[in-house]
Structure 1
Amino acid sequence: MDRQTVSGTFPSAASSVAEARRFVRRVLADWDMEACTDDAVLATSELATNAVTYAGTSFEVVCHLADGEVQIEVRDLHPTRAIAMPGMYASSGRGLPSVARLAASWGITYEHGAKGVWFRLPRPGDTTGRVHDDEPAAAPAGARAAPAVPAADAAVPATGDRLLRSPAARETLQNTVTTARDLLEADAAAVLLTERDGRLVLGASAGLPEGLPLGDLSVVSLGPDARAGVPWVSSDSSDPVAAALHARSLAAAPLEAQGRLTGLVVAVAAVPGRFEEADGARLGRLADEMSLSLEKARIGELERSWRGWLSFVAEASDLLAGTLDQERTMALVAQLVVPRLATWCAVYTDGEGDSARLAYVWHADENRADALRDLLERAGAVPPTEAPGPWGGLAAAPGDVRAAAGDTAADQAYAFPLIARGRRIGSLIIGRPEGDRFPRSAIELAEELSRRAALAVDNARLYSAQTTMSSALQRSLLPPAIPDIPGLEVAVVYEPAGEGSEVGGDFYDVFASAGANTPTGSSRWRFAIGDVCGTGPQAAAVTGLARHALRILAAEDMSVPDVLNRLNRLILAEGERARLLTLLHGEITTRPRRDGVTIELTSAGHPLPLVLDPDGEVHEAATPQPLLGVFDGVQFHTDTLELRRGQVMLCVTDGVTERRAGARLLGDGHGLESILADCTGLSAGAVAARVQRAVRDFGPEPSNDDVALIVLRAS
């Protein structure tokens, strides 16, 4: 059976991975026996495993033949599921990198209600319609394709190699040397081209011995005239270019493009003093004419290879910008490099005192990953260089470690500094087997990737530091523990909005009041739940002021209304830094026989507390009063509540009542009252958990406001 397109659905999300893999093999075999290769089965099985393990939904396998390629896609019903990247020491979760190695191309398709991961393989025995090595494969509509890069030998950023591959450039070079030789009646002429590392290579010659070695001739060894872009002549062999060409005299002119030295046009003679300054000037005019033609040829050669280069960089940037997790960012960097640019990749991060820490290792052959990690951990320190260059640190590892690593110990490595915002934050090391040279394309792409990776890692590091600081500040604004109050069950819930990178404005507190034990044997406690307008440091300042002021003023045995009057004045005194504050504050008085508690409370602009009776009736327990931080001279009063045994009082912030689902709020139509009524007979902790779950399940999107609640139940 050979069909262009076929699909099959695996319905049970709770089935085992083994069952999913058997299903995959059956679909592929029924579809096209020829296309059911080991690579196709293995890659599809890995994607099916990911769907069962991480998505937890049914999945569909879609197989398609097009342009001589087999395209297979595994689609699950969890569109928001992130594609997991393995951690540094992960023993699983490496399916996608395996697919990347097996497939000619792969990518991710996002649609409403579904997510698909697809890959393409060449169909056995079919070479028609194949994508050229230098061209990225086309992805399905709506897909995010894996980065495509040009072939290793198709994009060499060195001026010399690139120009020598262009027929037009080779013709221009040969015409130039012939013209130069004839123009100056020289013994020989040559064009020397600048490599990326500054070395000069022979691009074309006329009259020179074939295969003449230039030794260590480089831009650095040239005189000031060459570096300044000025023609010059030399009357003896003391000139480094004349010495490299075994000449006794020389006339030379620099080739320049956009202000950089791309090479030299030289004419040489076997006798000293052969050339004059006028010869250098004539050669300079020839070099000016030639430079434009060579630059045009170089740009034309670049255009083809840059198509894949730009695709790779753009996709890498998109992926790196998609996460603020530091380890995931480093994992992405390594897996973008391997196997496209190198056989293995290691990411180091700098600590205090310029000490480098091995943070992530990835090898194309997973069987060698552990040995490579050991080798790198025992190898020499990564040099704190500010520019890319070869790295020989593997040779510094102990002999037994090198023996255990096998051939990997002889790999050649290249180091790239990770520099972000003018500061070195680590290094990127890439490696290839001995004898497998790094193409210039790989070095240039890795250098570009290292610049983008450094910024992404630094952003993730800054985000992590900000999150840690915000979490610490948020914890400092909440009580360390909830005290035990005789005859009263107390439960609290606090959930800050967002991802923890910003301090919320909600707070709560429960603490003993001054003179907690009265002469009659009763005890007094204070509780508070509030919401400062806004988030961030300004809101945190008012939150801290309010929480500590409540405790300090309560310690002076001030009544609840007096505490709110004083706090109102304190907030107004903050001036422009002031924030509006809603606050529910009360004092709890317990009774010796534990037949309930008395609560004196004031609701200053806060959602009113609700009381649940044992028979399921729900009613409000206070009257509304002005919020804090608006008017001076406000006089507050208390409402008295006798909370009898079995009754529950629920206090919430507006993050509960204003939880949104489309145009509807949770508090609309007595929604919170209905939720509380269903909590009849539950403990304080169970009531808090049920309300918390109801808030989470009310809308499909995460809450954009903090959620805080206090539950008091008389026992």
Structure 2
Amino acid sequence: MDTTRVSSTAFDGTPHAPAHARRFVRQVLGEWRLSHLAEDAVLLTSELVTNAVVHAGTGVELTCRLDVDATPAKLEIEVDDHHPTRTILAAESPPPEGDPLPTSGRGLALAGMLADAWGVTYTRTAKRVWVRMELSEGCDQQEVVVGPPGLAPAMIAAPIDTLHVGVVVCDRDGVVESWNSEAEQLLGWRPEQAIGRSLKELVAWRGHGPYALSLADTLNLGRWRGEARMRHLDGRLVPVYVSHLRTRSEERRAIWMVVASDHRYVLTPPPAPLRREAGRRIKDLLDQDMPFSELLDTIAQIVQMSCGGDAAYVLLAADGGHRFGVAAGAGVTAGLVGVLATGVFGVDRKAPAMIEDLLAGDVELAQQLRARSLACAPLLVSGEVTGYIVVTAAQPGRFDQELTVSLQHIADQVAVPVQRERLAEQERAHRGRLSFLAEAGELLAGVHDEELIAALTAQLVVPKIATWAAVYLTDLAGMTRLAHVWHSEERHNADLRKSLPAIPRTALNEMTWPVGPENVLAFPLLTQGRSHGALVIGRAETTLPLELADLLADLCRLVALNLHTAMLYARQATTSRVLQRSLLPMRTAPMPGLESAVVYEPAEEGADVGGDFYDLFTVADHWCFALGDVCGSGPEAAAVTGLARHAVRLLAKEHYTVADIFDRLNHALLEEGEEGRFLSLLCGELTPLPQGGALCTIASAGHPPPLLLRESGLVEAMATPQLLLGIEAGARFYVETFELAPEEVLLCVTDGVTERRDGDRLLDDGDGLSAILAGCAGLSAHAVAERVRHAVETFATEPSQDDVALLVIKAAAALRQVR
């Protein structure tokens, strides 16, 4: 006779199913007096139910089967689901019963570690994952009971001659189809009276425990054993013990074997031996070679599953060992990260603790953990607390002192191996951290654009640390905006940007981020007491290890510093741009009958003005022009540029001659007293002539002479270089005069043109600039300027290291008098 004990139940495919399953298994094993197996059995059950809920999302059937007649005796746990998209194997080719199928995932890995056997089988309508735990491991025998805790079965509670084993067969709707004579002897109903009745009429069904099934649900289970009460023909209720079996044929009949409660031992198994506890399994786990983070995650997962909590954590010492932070977590962790600032965990608390309601003593910790109940045990190494194992639950009063003893047993076994592995991991993490930060620093160095910094930051984090990242920037006015997003799968970038607020309406540290598959964490970008925004990341993992949290904090400080530098650079660049623009004329004066064109390119990247300058303006009945070059470039040269340009214009407006302008400017530069700051200057006046063209009066103080392109195509140098300005106080300057006839072109340049270098060769070697100008006959002033500029740019592959300025004036027709 089959004496296998079976207890089954079913749950909806909701996130609460694993917790219900854990309680059910604990209750069943307690009734069977197998509490010593509860740690491993509960862990395995929770893993299998969790996998079924996550991957199927359908209702789940859970069956516990104890077979003590087997050699060795064994406990089997089966989880059936009905995956809505899974294809069940065809009837003509089902997999052999009990054959394992290829599987993957953490749950099955734990099954391989904690169970003696496991596998996946298919029925015609469902997929079943099962694990087997053998009870013969050399442990002492212990009595096993099926029934309420504390109720031991009588080995022979009634005379054997009163034993009746009734067999009842029902169809899929619970209507009795077969009723044997033993059932008649037990319950008084003759077969013709019972057949055709609904089993509901014959059974006074009352489920046992908070997760008991209805009679209809029980009839749909594959196997089940337990107590019930059936109606006798005379109306009384008879306590019975039932062994239920559902056939796998198309008719799916339910078969009940029924005995009186006094004869329950006929259908119940004999005693079973003990099994190793979960703590020992965890210790075996530590001997395996796996990454440190995965090891901690597995420990947290085993603790959470075996303790029946909503979440479990491994805390490790941080901040010099005086505070503790989350190193790993399992369950409903809500993206917990960083250090837990609380008095519950301390270096002086060297005993396990249990708190029934956190809200009554530590509101901050309750909010961080989103929990009310807490049990913890310290990790002790050489008498020092190096961390904690913690289990939590959302409801108060979920744990008892017995649980803290189990936690401490686990903590004592894992403390030394975890500390050893952590020290090794810290060394590796430190090297990786330095390498990562060095790479980030090199990538961000010299970047002065906030948008580019935001883009680089997001791409540094993804996918190394996070699945996606977003960077928010805060400007000087305090306005925060979404600057850049980056997803590990670029096709999701647009959707990610839409899901995040473009302009947050609340402070970033108070934001409620959109709920998605990833846990969202935000890190402020702070430097010198000012917020430059925040880095927001999404991670698939439920917790962020301390090492990664510290790394992200360092990265955010580095990014914030670069953003601060970029802000200062932008502010300085804006200020310089405004000031430097004042050093050049806003527009050149119109000259009727003359064409003019100017090219100005400072050597320093991002600058508007360097050491070269130009000007073109009217004075009374003539025009004045100037082209100068201050020794050096950049802002320092620009300061002298401003002095020279404004002095030339002011003196010319006061009707000083060109020679007098040079003399006054020479003294002004010498009075500035800045050694080595010289100035080359070309300055001239254009007086219109009645027959067309203009009379040009010009002087050159150490400046490249202007070139005149005659209408015949001949090119001539038109001024003799004199002493540079700012060198000698007693220098005397003179002017030269020539006529600029119609269609003739005057080209004035700085040494950035003539000394454009390509290796050892200069652009003006062998009168190179004259040759370029000679080829410009018949061109307009703008065309001449562009051709010379292009020639300077293409003369060498390297960019010019000097400021470039050139002024082109062409006499087009008879000039009108300037009014």
Query: So what's the TM-score if we normalise by structure 2?
Result: 0.51
Please state whether the residue corresponding to 2:556 is helix, strand or coil. helix
Structure 2 CA distance, aligned partners of 1:597 and 1:487? Answer: 9
1:571 to 645, 669, 677: 669
Q: 1:368 to 1:292 in 2, by over 3 A?
A: closer
Partner of 1:393: 512
CA distance in 1, matches of 2:811, 2:325: 89
Q: Tell me which amino acid in the other structure corresponds to 1:336.
A: L
Matched, 1:682 2:779: yes
Q: Counterparts of 1:342-357 in structure 2 under 5 Å?
A: 342-357=466-481
Any unmatched runs of 5+ in structure 2? 1-289, 301-313, 366-372, 390-400, 402-411, 813-819
| Cα deviation 1:119-175 (Å, max 9, x = unaligned) | xxxxxxxxxxxxxxxxxxxxxxxxxxxxxxxxxx94649xx939979xxxxxxxxxx
Aligned twin of 1:500 = 606
Aligned to 2:656: 558
Q: Does the Cα contact within 8 Å between 1:348 and 1:428 map onto a contact in 2?
A: yes
2:526 alignment partner, SS class: strand
Letter in 2 for 1:470: S
Residue 360 (structure 1) aligns with: 484
Deviation at 1:508, TM superposition (A): 0.1
Paired letter, 1:606: H
The question of 1:415 aligning with 2:534 is answered no
Distance 1:392 1:423, change over 3 A: closer
How many Å apart are 1:466 and its aligned residue?
Answer: 3.4
Q: What pairs with 1:211-230 in structure 2 (closer than 5 Å)?
A: 220-222=341-343
Partner of 1:592: 690
The residue identity in structure 2 corresponding to 1:638 is V
1:509 to 615, 618, 632: 615
Deviation at 1:378, TM superposition (A): 5.8
Equivalent residues of 2:695, 2:737 under 8 A apart: yes
Contact 2:687 2:696 in 1 (8 A): yes
Asked if 1:484 is matched to 2:593, the reply is no
Deviations 1:12-60 (A, max 9, x none): xxxxxxxxxxxxxxxxxxxxxxxxxxxxxxxxxxxxxxxxxxxxxxxxx
Pick one of 460, 485, 490 that aligns with 2:566. 460
- Per the normalisation by structure 1, the TM-score is 0.57
Deviation at 1:634, TM superposition (A): 1.8
Pick from 700, 703, 707 the counterpart of residue 800 of structure 2. Answer: 703
Cα distance in 1 between the residues matched to 2:326 and 2:725: 78
Q: Which residue of 1 aligns with 2:768?
A: 671
Partners of 2:738 and 2:448 lie apart in 1 by 49
Residue of structure 2 aligned with 1:607, choices 684, 704, 710: 704
Q: Is the 8 A contact 2:584 2:613 kept in 1?
A: yes
Q: Distance in 2 between matches of 1:597 and 1:665?
A: 33
- Residue correspondence of structure 1 range 236-315 to structure 2 within 5 A: 262-263=386-387, 297-304=421-428, 309-315=433-439
Distance apart, 1:473 and its partner CA: 2.7
Question: Which is helix-richer, 1 or 2?
Answer: 1
* Structure-2 separation of matches of 1:711 and 1:446: 57
Indicate the structure (1 or 2) with the bigger Cα radius of gyration. Answer: 2
Output the aligned Cα RMSD.
4.5
Q: Is the 8 A contact 1:490 1:713 kept in 2?
A: yes
What amino acid sits opposite 2:522 in the alignment? A
Partner of 2:666, secondary structure, is: helix
- How much has 1:467 moved relative to structure 2? 3.2
For residues 614-653 of structure 1, the aligned pairs below 5 Å read 614-653=711-750
Q: Is the 8 A contact 1:584 1:603 kept in 2?
A: yes
Q: How does 1:67-106 map to 2 (within 5 A)?
A: none
Identity %: 46
Verify the 8 A CA contact 2:447 2:453 in the aligned structure 1: yes
Shift of 1:338: 2.3
Secondary structure (helix, strand or coil) at the match of 2:440 reads helix
Q: CA deviation at 1:649?
A: 1.1
Partner residue in 2 for 1:428: 535
Per mean C-alpha deviation after superposition, the further-off stretch among 298-307 and 634-643 is 298-307
What is the aligned counterpart of 1:473 among 575, 579, 603? Answer: 579
Q: Distance in 1 between matches of 2:457 and 2:353?
A: 53
- Deviation string 1:71-130 (CA, Å, 9 cap, x unpaired) is xxxxxxxxxxxxxxxxxxxxxxxxxxxxxxxxxxxxxxxxxxxxxxxxxxxxxxxxxxxx
Alignment of 1:7-406 (within 5 A): 154=291, 156=293, 161=296, 193-194=316-317, 198-199=323-324, 220-222=341-343, 262-263=386-387, 297-304=421-428, 309-321=433-445, 323-377=447-501, 380-381=504-505, 383=507, 392-395=511-514
On the 8 A contact 1:492/1:710 being kept in 2, the answer is yes
1:194 maps to a residue whose letter is A
* SS of match in other structure, 1:702: coil
In the aligned structure 1, how far is the partner of 2:436 from the partner of 2:719? 63
- Compared CA separation, residues 420 and 712, structure 1 to 2 (3 A): same
Give the secondary structure class of the aligned counterpart of 1:486: coil
CA contact (8 A) 2:694 2:740 kept: yes
The answer for unaligned runs of 5 or more in structure 1 is: 1-152, 166-190, 204-210, 271-286, 386-390, 396-407, 517-523
**Of 331-340 and 651-660, the range deviating more from structure 2:** 331-340
Distance 1:234 1:419, change over 3 A: closer
Find the aligned partners of 2:631 and 2:440 in 1 and give their Cα distance.
40
Q: Which residue of 1 is the match for residue 368 of structure 2?
A: none
Cα shift at 1:415: 0.8
Change (3 A) 1:222 1:562: same
Where does residue 99 of structure 1 map in the other structure?
none
Tell me if structure 2 keeps the 8 A contact 1:610–1:618: yes
Deviation at 1:202, TM superposition (A): 11
Distance 1:319 1:575 in 2: 43
- Please give the alpha-carbon distance, in whole angstroms, between the structure 2 residues aligned to 1:613 and 1:324: 49
Q: What is the DSSP-based 3-state SS (H/G/I as helix, E as strand, rest coil) of the residue aligned with 1:342?
A: coil
Q: Give the distance between the partners of 2:433 and 2:353, measured in 1 at CA.
A: 46
CA displacement 1:285-306 (0-9 Å, x = unmatched) = xx9xx99997664232234455
Contact 2:376 2:388 in 1 (8 A): no
* Amino acid paired to 1:417: P
Aligned equivalents of 2:623, 2:791: Cα separation in 1: 29
Partner amino acid for 1:161? L
Q: Measure how far apart 1:431 and its partner are.
A: 1.6
**Gap change, CA 1:394 and 1:311, over 3 Å in 2:** same
Q: Distance in 2 between matches of 1:379 and 1:470?
A: 31
Do the aligned partners of residues 646 and 252 (structure 1) sit closer, same or farther apart at CA in structure 2, a change above 3 Å counting?
closer
State whether residues 353 and 376 of structure 2, in contact with CA within 8 Å, keep that contact through their aligned partners in structure 1: no
Q: Distance in 2 between matches of 1:246 and 1:684?
A: 86
Deviation at 1:693, TM superposition (A): 0.2
> Which residue number in structure 2 is paired with residue 546 of structure 1?
644
SS in 2 for 1:628: coil
- Following the alignment from structure 2 to structure 1, what is the Cα–Cα distance between the partners of residues 507 and 487? 22
Q: Distance in 1 between matches of 2:749 and 2:595?
A: 16
Q: Show CA shifts across 1:345-380 (max 9, x none).
A: 111111245331211122334444334323322674
Asked whether the 8 Å contact 1:660–1:666 carries over to 2, the reply is yes
Q: Write the distance in 2 (CA, Å) between the matches of 1:692 and 1:306.
A: 54
Q: Residues 322, 234 of structure 1: CA spacing in aligned structure 2 closer, same or farther, 3 A cutoff? A: closer
SS at match of 2:572: helix
Matched pairs, number: 472
Higher mean alpha-carbon deviation, 436-445 vs 355-364, is at 436-445
